[in-house]
Structure 1
Amino acid sequence: MILGTTPADRADRAMLVSTVEAAVDRIDPADGRSERVDRDGPFDRDLWALLSGEVGIGALAVPEDRGGLGASFADVAAVLAVLGAELSRVPYLSAVVATAALTDAPASAVADDHLGRIAAGRTIVTTVVPTADTDVDFRADGTGDTVVLTGTASFVVDALGADVVLVFASSPNGVTGLYAVAAEALSRAPMPTTDATRGLSTVTADRAPAVLVDPNASISRLRDRALVALACDSLGVARRTLDDAVGYAGSRVQFGRAVGGFQAVKHRLAEAAVALELAETAVAHAVWAVEAGSDHDLAEAAAIAAIVCGEAASRTTADNVQVHGGIGFTWEHTAHRYYRRALTNAVLWGSGDDHAQRLYELTADGQARVDPDTVPRPAVALSS
């Protein structure tokens, strides 16, 4: 199912997108961005202060009754795509995932306090996202206000700049819960990464004090929400790099004609455009699944979006490098930075093969649950 929107919704969303784009252009314009990435690293504090404080993008996904704006996930997805298109070095992906985890948790003073701070732009919260339901790397000991966590996890997004880290941990009786841990109580070591615009870290807890946020947290549901958010980021990357490639192909003249007129180039770009259309559709379906679908719908839509958007971003970023020719291979050009983001997105929280296997299992499970007596039979026998 594809998400439907009214003209008013689209107009409001376009205004939101324009506001975010203007904010990025004000603080982190495209000119000189590569130099700023190399100089300042994967976190632009000035841009985040503007986006989370004045623009208020952190409040979009937080329900109104818990201190936020209660916007639709379609609005959140649009912002994620814009920030992906700009390779913005802000912890919005982390904020969206953490908000999903805290919103699904039972209402409590701890959860509501974190949600309110995220909405106001006063706190950066990240989440250790397991790649499988059984992949819980932390152990919780103790009860009540004396719980401590022990364990290690890698590939944690935005951990270095976070104030709070949400962690899935199993208790001695085998129950998995979601815990909030002050980042200063954890050891956080930056990981060498392909993508310099997104920080990844190894997080270690050695009997770190923690607070239980959700005693019955669903790892699979949170991972699906995280995959949808990541797919939106990849969609933005694919859009921008295809636009860049088409623009360059139409203006670069070789042998007396624009290179976009050569068959090898235009066929490459046409195939990339098809991949982008598939990604647009996959994200639209995933947004619907987040807002109105069942957990099974969300799981299928998340797997599809992860596969399709990952492939689209990988294709368009590689094509962008190729279409730009020699200049596209230089460190000074931004093409390689988009290619690196696509490479990272394609394996963060699971590879394409992982998502394809899960989609197969979900489909097989769905077929197993169908009552054969309810399946319509053809009116006539099929000939052999």
Structure 2
Amino acid sequence: MFRLDVDPALLGETGERRQLRAVLREFLAQTCGPEEVRGQTAGPHGFDPVLWERLAGEIGVHGLALPEEYGGAGGSFADLAVALEETGRVLCPAPLLPTVVLAAHTLLLCGDRAACERLLPGIASGALTATVAGFAHPERITAERGPDGWLLRGEADFVPDGEGADVVLVTARTSDGPRLFACEPDAGGCDRVARRVLDPTRRQALLRFRGAPAAPVGEAGQAPGVVDAVLDAGRTALAAEQVGGCAHALDAVVEYVSHRTQFGRVIGSFQAVKHRLADLLVEVEAARSASGWATACLAAPEAGEVRVAASAAAVVCATAYRRAAAEYVQLHGGIGFTWEHPAHLYVRRARADEALFGTADDHRVRLAGILGLAGPPGWFRSGAPSAGPCRRAC
């Protein structure tokens, strides 16, 4: 039995989180507007390293959900979700999702104290960027013992921030089953090729391991459970980013139609435009609720089933973001279709996000399997929900 009735207190925003949101929104408005996003995505890092350091040092974003013993603030995922929503609002291209969510959660869930002490303080301070690889297809990477330690062979495609990450946490196949490893690509034995992707604000790469040295993380046999939990954390984080993008699109459209005139009238006074904006507001608020529930479940397990909440948020938020991005373009008229206007960047982010951790259809299948609503194998698309179709990147 899954809890669908959530304590409203878990979904509300505390005073501290409201202050964090206000500080971040003001900071990002000054440092990460549309022009800055274009410049950063064209640069060698794919993001502004000064902005990355300031987010970590001045505001402490990177350590919000990390324990104090590893240099973090000792907060919860609900605190981090506020930051993700605000960075998603401005399409901040910094690798927060792969570093602070995917990699950091992998380390914490493994319970490997030595690995946490070695890597998490660098993540919290902003000195280290990290990502994960092989989580979608661990069978493509193997790990074998060499004379001086473990070596990785194989490849992982479309790895978020795979070209620039300092550390990659890899799921690899061993003689004892899948296991997690930490690899530093710059140490040798790893080729990284940047992929040309739809969304330039979220870079991805192909990683080829040719005997790359790696250190085991955690115990043998725990990798599958950790991977599933990390992917749900990634879906929840992505939902928060999508809510931020939706909110920006809605605000930008309302601002535009409140001033643009046609036939001697402000176009926002036309009934057809009002209806479209009202429908969009309903979708954005639904996305906010779904994201809030998933965040509450991850931050406080008593709020409900994380798997159900994460997949539900993936369906609702991805659908709302696509609608918001489309209205962003269309209700801006001719200017919305130009490269000079930032609307196209939100369209790219919305469409790319739909497939990052599985499409909406994938998650509907997954939900049916979790809730016991699945039919016989082959009833929907490619097979039974238990086959685990919700994995695209990493």
Length-normalised TM-score, structure 1? 0.88
Partner of 2:180: 178
Quick one: distance in 2 between partners of 1:135 and 1:271? 42
Quick one: distance in 1 between partners of 2:91 and 2:166? 22
Partner of 1:18: 22
Q: Which amino acid aligns with 2:208?
A: T
Quick one: distance in 2 between partners of 1:366 and 1:99? 33
Partner of 2:129: 124
For the Cα contact (< 8 Å) 1:64–1:70, is it kept in 2?
yes
Q: Which amino acid aligns with 1:171?
A: T
User: Secondary structure of the equivalent of 2:128?
Assistant: coil
Quick one: distance in 2 between partners of 1:27 and 1:129? 34
Partner of 1:308: 316
Quick one: distance in 1 between partners of 2:117 and 2:300? 23
Match of 1:166 among 165, 169, 185: 169
For the Cα contact (< 8 Å) 2:232–2:306, is it kept in 1?
yes
Deviation track 1:28-77 (CA, whole Å, cap 9, x = no partner) reads: 344x3354246426322121111122222111111123321111211100
Q: Which amino acid aligns with 1:344?
A: A
Quick one: distance in 2 between partners of 1:19 and 1:152? 41
Match of 2:143 among 140, 143, 147: 140
Structure 1 stretch displaced more, 42-51 or 322-331: 42-51
Q: 1:145 to 1:114 in 2, by over 3 A?
A: farther
Per the TM alignment, residue 348 of structure 1 is displaced from its structure 2 partner at its CA by 0.7
Quick one: distance in 2 between partners of 1:8 and 1:158? 32
Q: Which amino acid aligns with 1:180?
A: A
Q: Confirm whether residue 343 of structure 1 aligns to residue 357 of structure 2.
A: no
Segments of structure 2 that go 5 or more residues without pairing to the other structure are: 376-394
For the Cα contact (< 8 Å) 2:6–2:303, is it kept in 1?
no
Deviation track 1:177-227 (CA, whole Å, cap 9, x = no partner) reads: 211100213211111111111111111111111111123122211111111
Q: Confirm whether residue 68 of structure 1 aligns to residue 76 of structure 2.
A: no
Q: Confirm whether residue 196 of structure 1 aligns to residue 196 of structure 2.
A: no
Match of 1:55 among 53, 59, 63: 59
Quick one: distance in 1 between partners of 2:300 and 2:11? 20
Deviation track 1:95-133 (CA, whole Å, cap 9, x = no partner) reads: 2221111111123212222111111111111112634xx
* Higher radius of gyration, 1 or 2: 1
Q: Confirm whether residue 363 of structure 1 aligns to residue 366 of structure 2.
A: no
Q: 1:129 to 1:221 in 2, by over 3 A?
A: farther
Partner of 1:371: none
Match of 1:107 among 104, 107, 112: 112
Match of 1:352 among 360, 372, 379: 360
For the Cα contact (< 8 Å) 2:159–2:205, is it kept in 1?
yes
Deviation track 1:225-278 (CA, whole Å, cap 9, x = no partner) reads: 111111111111111101111111111111121112223222211111111111
For the Cα contact (< 8 Å) 2:167–2:184, is it kept in 1?
yes
Per the TM alignment, residue 361 of structure 1 is displaced from its structure 2 partner at its CA by 0.6
Quick one: distance in 2 between partners of 1:119 and 1:162? 15
User: Secondary structure of the equivalent of 1:301?
Assistant: helix
Q: Percent identity?
A: 35
Q: 1:143 to 1:279 in 2, by over 3 A?
A: farther
Q: Which amino acid aligns with 1:87?
A: L
For the Cα contact (< 8 Å) 1:286–1:298, is it kept in 2?
yes
Partner of 1:153: 156
Partner of 1:273: 281
Per the TM alignment, residue 364 of structure 1 is displaced from its structure 2 partner at its CA by 0.7
Q: Confirm whether residue 93 of structure 1 aligns to residue 97 of structure 2.
A: yes
Quick one: distance in 2 between partners of 1:7 and 1:38? 34
Q: Which amino acid aligns with 1:182?
A: E
Q: 1:6 to 1:147 in 2, by over 3 A?
A: closer
Quick one: distance in 1 between partners of 2:120 and 2:200? 28
For the Cα contact (< 8 Å) 1:130–1:136, is it kept in 2?
no
Quick one: distance in 2 between partners of 1:285 and 1:295? 8
Quick one: distance in 2 between partners of 1:8 and 1:303? 21
Q: 1:7 to 1:313 in 2, by over 3 A?
A: closer
Segments of structure 1 that go 5 or more residues without pairing to the other structure are: 368-384
User: Secondary structure of the equivalent of 1:130?
Assistant: coil
Length-normalised TM-score, structure 2? 0.86
Q: 1:107 to 1:37 in 2, by over 3 A?
A: closer
Per the TM alignment, residue 292 of structure 1 is displaced from its structure 2 partner at its CA by 2.3
Per the TM alignment, residue 366 of structure 1 is displaced from its structure 2 partner at its CA by 11
Q: Which amino acid aligns with 1:172?
A: S
User: Secondary structure of the equivalent of 1:201?
Assistant: strand
User: Secondary structure of the equivalent of 1:111?
Assistant: helix
Structure 1 stretch displaced more, 291-300 or 90-99: 291-300
Q: 1:313 to 1:145 in 2, by over 3 A?
A: farther
Q: 1:39 to 1:224 in 2, by over 3 A?
A: closer
Quick one: distance in 1 between partners of 2:12 and 2:248? 25
- Work out the number of aligned pairs and report it: 363
For the Cα contact (< 8 Å) 2:89–2:244, is it kept in 1?
yes
